[in-house]
Amino acid sequence: MSKNDDKQLRCSFCGKTQDQVKRLIAGPNVYICNECVELCKEIIDEEIDFLEDEEFNSLPKPKEIKEFLDKYVIKQDEAKKALSVAVYNHYKRINKTKKNKGVELHKTNILVLGPTGCGKTYMAQILAKMLKVPFAIADATSLTEAGYVGEDVENIILRLIQAADYNIENAERGIIYIDEIDKIARRGDNSSITRDVSGEGV
Protein backbone atom coordinates (compact mmCIF):
# COMPACT_ATOMS: atom_id res chain seq x y z
CA MET A 1 0.00 0.00 0.00
CA SER A 2 1.21 3.45 -0.76
CA LYS A 3 0.12 6.49 1.23
CA ASN A 4 1.29 10.05 0.85
CA ASP A 5 1.71 12.60 3.60
CA ASP A 6 -1.97 13.63 3.59
CA LYS A 7 -2.93 10.00 4.28
CA GLN A 8 -4.77 9.55 0.95
CA LEU A 9 -5.03 5.95 -0.17
CA ARG A 10 -3.34 5.20 -3.50
CA CYS A 11 -3.26 2.31 -5.95
CA SER A 12 -0.10 0.31 -5.26
CA PHE A 13 0.38 -0.27 -9.01
CA CYS A 14 -0.28 3.04 -10.81
CA GLY A 15 -0.08 5.43 -7.83
CA LYS A 16 -3.43 7.14 -8.47
CA THR A 17 -5.36 8.33 -5.42
CA GLN A 18 -8.82 7.03 -4.54
CA ASP A 19 -10.28 10.34 -5.79
CA GLN A 20 -8.79 9.80 -9.27
CA VAL A 21 -10.36 6.37 -9.82
CA LYS A 22 -13.85 4.88 -9.58
CA ARG A 23 -12.93 2.09 -7.18
CA LEU A 24 -10.00 1.16 -4.96
CA ILE A 25 -9.90 -2.47 -3.81
CA ALA A 26 -8.04 -3.27 -0.58
CA GLY A 27 -5.83 -6.29 -0.04
CA PRO A 28 -3.35 -7.22 2.68
CA ASN A 29 -1.00 -4.19 2.68
CA VAL A 30 -1.86 -3.28 -0.96
CA TYR A 31 -4.52 -1.46 -2.97
CA ILE A 32 -5.48 -1.84 -6.62
CA CYS A 33 -7.73 0.48 -8.63
CA ASN A 34 -10.42 -0.53 -11.15
CA GLU A 35 -8.26 0.75 -14.04
CA CYS A 36 -5.36 -1.55 -13.13
CA VAL A 37 -7.79 -4.48 -12.72
CA GLU A 38 -9.12 -3.85 -16.26
CA LEU A 39 -5.57 -3.60 -17.61
CA CYS A 40 -4.64 -6.92 -15.93
CA LYS A 41 -7.73 -8.58 -17.41
CA GLU A 42 -6.80 -7.36 -20.91
CA ILE A 43 -3.27 -8.76 -20.51
CA ILE A 44 -4.59 -12.14 -19.32
CA ASP A 45 -7.16 -12.30 -22.16
CA GLU A 46 -4.41 -11.62 -24.71
CA GLU A 47 -2.30 -14.42 -23.21
CA ILE A 48 -5.25 -16.83 -23.32
CA ASP A 49 -5.90 -15.96 -27.00
CA PHE A 50 -2.22 -16.52 -27.76
CA LEU A 51 -2.22 -19.91 -26.01
CA GLU A 52 -5.37 -20.97 -27.89
CA ASP A 53 -3.78 -19.95 -31.21
CA GLU A 54 -0.68 -21.94 -30.26
CA GLU A 55 -2.87 -24.93 -29.41
CA PHE A 56 -4.62 -24.69 -32.79
CA ASN A 57 -1.32 -24.34 -34.66
CA SER A 58 0.04 -27.42 -32.85
CA LEU A 59 -2.95 -29.49 -34.01
CA PRO A 60 -1.63 -32.01 -36.57
CA LYS A 61 -2.93 -31.59 -40.12
CA PRO A 62 -4.92 -34.42 -41.76
CA LYS A 63 -1.86 -35.48 -43.78
CA GLU A 64 0.22 -35.77 -40.58
CA ILE A 65 -2.54 -37.74 -38.85
CA LYS A 66 -2.75 -40.19 -41.77
CA GLU A 67 1.04 -40.59 -41.84
CA PHE A 68 0.94 -41.45 -38.13
CA LEU A 69 -1.83 -44.02 -38.74
CA ASP A 70 0.21 -45.50 -41.62
CA LYS A 71 2.93 -46.45 -39.12
CA TYR A 72 0.52 -48.71 -37.23
CA VAL A 73 -2.23 -49.77 -39.68
CA ILE A 74 -1.60 -51.49 -43.03
CA LYS A 75 -3.87 -50.51 -45.97
CA GLN A 76 -7.36 -49.15 -45.06
CA ASP A 77 -6.33 -45.93 -46.87
CA GLU A 78 -9.86 -44.59 -47.41
CA ALA A 79 -10.77 -45.12 -43.76
CA LYS A 80 -7.53 -43.50 -42.58
CA LYS A 81 -8.09 -40.45 -44.82
CA ALA A 82 -11.69 -40.05 -43.65
CA LEU A 83 -10.72 -40.40 -39.99
CA SER A 84 -7.81 -37.97 -40.35
CA VAL A 85 -10.01 -35.23 -41.84
CA ALA A 86 -12.86 -35.87 -39.39
CA VAL A 87 -10.57 -35.77 -36.34
CA TYR A 88 -8.83 -32.59 -37.56
CA ASN A 89 -12.20 -30.85 -38.15
CA HIS A 90 -13.49 -32.04 -34.78
CA TYR A 91 -10.61 -30.58 -32.76
CA LYS A 92 -10.57 -27.45 -34.92
CA ARG A 93 -14.24 -26.98 -33.99
CA ILE A 94 -13.43 -27.39 -30.28
CA ASN A 95 -10.69 -24.73 -30.45
CA LYS A 96 -12.86 -22.28 -32.41
CA THR A 97 -15.77 -22.75 -29.98
CA LYS A 98 -13.46 -22.01 -27.01
CA LYS A 99 -12.22 -18.83 -28.69
CA ASN A 100 -15.63 -17.56 -29.89
CA LYS A 101 -17.82 -18.14 -26.86
CA GLY A 102 -21.03 -16.97 -28.55
CA VAL A 103 -20.63 -19.20 -31.62
CA GLU A 104 -21.98 -22.75 -31.48
CA LEU A 105 -20.70 -25.20 -34.08
CA HIS A 106 -22.38 -28.57 -34.58
CA LYS A 107 -20.55 -31.63 -33.30
CA THR A 108 -19.74 -34.48 -35.66
CA ASN A 109 -19.60 -38.19 -34.94
CA ILE A 110 -17.94 -40.92 -36.99
CA LEU A 111 -19.52 -44.28 -37.89
CA VAL A 112 -16.85 -46.83 -38.81
CA LEU A 113 -18.04 -50.01 -40.56
CA GLY A 114 -16.04 -53.12 -41.36
CA PRO A 115 -15.57 -56.82 -40.62
CA THR A 116 -14.13 -58.09 -37.35
CA GLY A 117 -10.38 -57.62 -37.10
CA CYS A 118 -9.98 -54.98 -39.82
CA GLY A 119 -8.66 -52.37 -37.36
CA LYS A 120 -11.66 -50.17 -36.45
CA THR A 121 -11.00 -50.10 -32.70
CA TYR A 122 -7.24 -50.07 -33.15
CA MET A 123 -7.34 -46.96 -35.37
CA ALA A 124 -9.39 -45.10 -32.75
CA GLN A 125 -6.87 -46.10 -30.07
CA ILE A 126 -3.96 -44.90 -32.23
CA LEU A 127 -5.71 -41.56 -32.84
CA ALA A 128 -6.17 -41.07 -29.09
CA LYS A 129 -2.49 -41.92 -28.57
CA MET A 130 -1.36 -39.39 -31.19
CA LEU A 131 -3.60 -36.59 -29.91
CA LYS A 132 -2.74 -37.39 -26.26
CA VAL A 133 -6.41 -37.45 -25.24
CA PRO A 134 -8.24 -39.91 -22.95
CA PHE A 135 -9.92 -42.85 -24.68
CA ALA A 136 -12.80 -45.07 -23.56
CA ILE A 137 -14.29 -48.13 -25.26
CA ALA A 138 -17.86 -49.24 -24.60
CA ASP A 139 -19.60 -52.40 -25.80
CA ALA A 140 -23.03 -51.34 -27.05
CA THR A 141 -24.50 -54.81 -26.38
CA SER A 142 -24.00 -54.40 -22.62
CA LEU A 143 -25.78 -51.03 -22.42
CA THR A 144 -29.31 -50.86 -21.02
CA GLU A 145 -31.72 -48.11 -20.01
CA ALA A 146 -31.33 -46.66 -16.52
CA GLY A 147 -32.97 -48.85 -13.88
CA TYR A 148 -32.34 -52.16 -15.64
CA VAL A 149 -29.65 -54.76 -15.01
CA GLY A 150 -26.71 -54.00 -17.28
CA GLU A 151 -24.39 -51.11 -17.94
CA ASP A 152 -25.80 -47.57 -17.85
CA VAL A 153 -24.92 -45.15 -20.66
CA GLU A 154 -23.51 -42.75 -18.05
CA ASN A 155 -20.87 -45.37 -17.18
CA ILE A 156 -19.21 -44.63 -20.54
CA ILE A 157 -18.68 -41.02 -19.48
CA LEU A 158 -17.38 -42.21 -16.10
CA ARG A 159 -14.90 -44.50 -17.87
CA LEU A 160 -13.65 -41.57 -19.97
CA ILE A 161 -13.27 -39.39 -16.86
CA GLN A 162 -11.30 -42.19 -15.19
CA ALA A 163 -9.06 -42.46 -18.28
CA ALA A 164 -8.45 -38.70 -17.91
CA ASP A 165 -7.43 -39.14 -14.23
CA TYR A 166 -10.61 -37.29 -13.24
CA ASN A 167 -9.54 -34.16 -15.13
CA ILE A 168 -12.88 -32.97 -16.54
CA GLU A 169 -11.30 -30.54 -19.03
CA ASN A 170 -9.22 -33.36 -20.53
CA ALA A 171 -12.22 -35.70 -20.54
CA GLU A 172 -14.20 -33.14 -22.56
CA ARG A 173 -11.60 -33.50 -25.33
CA GLY A 174 -11.47 -37.30 -25.13
CA ILE A 175 -12.64 -39.99 -27.55
CA ILE A 176 -15.47 -42.43 -26.79
CA TYR A 177 -15.56 -45.51 -29.00
CA ILE A 178 -18.86 -47.45 -28.94
CA ASP A 179 -18.35 -50.95 -30.33
CA GLU A 180 -20.89 -53.50 -31.63
CA ILE A 181 -23.60 -50.92 -32.48
CA ASP A 182 -24.74 -53.13 -35.39
CA LYS A 183 -25.87 -55.81 -32.93
CA ILE A 184 -28.19 -53.32 -31.20
CA ALA A 185 -29.65 -52.32 -34.57
CA ARG A 186 -30.23 -55.99 -35.43
CA ARG A 187 -32.11 -56.79 -32.23
CA GLY A 188 -34.08 -53.52 -32.33
CA ASP A 189 -36.04 -54.29 -35.53
CA ASN A 190 -39.38 -54.27 -33.70
CA SER A 191 -40.08 -50.54 -33.40
CA SER A 192 -42.36 -49.40 -30.60
CA ILE A 193 -43.51 -46.01 -29.39
CA THR A 194 -43.70 -47.27 -25.79
CA ARG A 195 -40.91 -47.86 -23.29
CA ASP A 196 -38.77 -50.89 -24.11
CA VAL A 197 -39.61 -53.41 -21.36
CA SER A 198 -36.37 -55.30 -21.96
CA GLY A 199 -34.38 -52.19 -21.07
CA GLU A 200 -32.31 -52.52 -24.24
CA GLY A 201 -33.61 -49.35 -25.93
CA VAL A 202 -30.70 -47.10 -25.04
pLDDT at 2: 46
Q: What is the pLDDT of residues 34-93, one digit of tens each?
A: 999 999 988 887 777 666 555 545 678 889 999 999 998 888 888 899 989 888 888 787
**Domain spans in the chain, listed from the N-terminal domain onward:** 9-48, 133-202
What average pLDDT score do residues 104-130 get? 82
Residue 102 reports pLDDT greater than 80:
no
Which one, of 63, 116, 113, 53, lies nearest residue 88 by Cα? 63
Predicted TM-score (pTM) of this structure: 0.55
What average pLDDT score do residues 98-116 get? 72
Contacts of 93 (CB under 8 A, 6+ apart): 105, 107, 108
pLDDT at 140: 80
Q: What is the pLDDT of residues 158-191, one digit of tens each?
A: 989 998 889 888 888 888 888 877 776 655 555 5
Segment (H or E) for 131: helix 120-131
* Residue 201 contacts residue 145 (beta carbons within 8 Å): yes
Q: Is 175 helix (H, G, I), strand (E, B) or coil?
A: strand
* Residue 115 contacts residue 79 (beta carbons within 8 Å): no
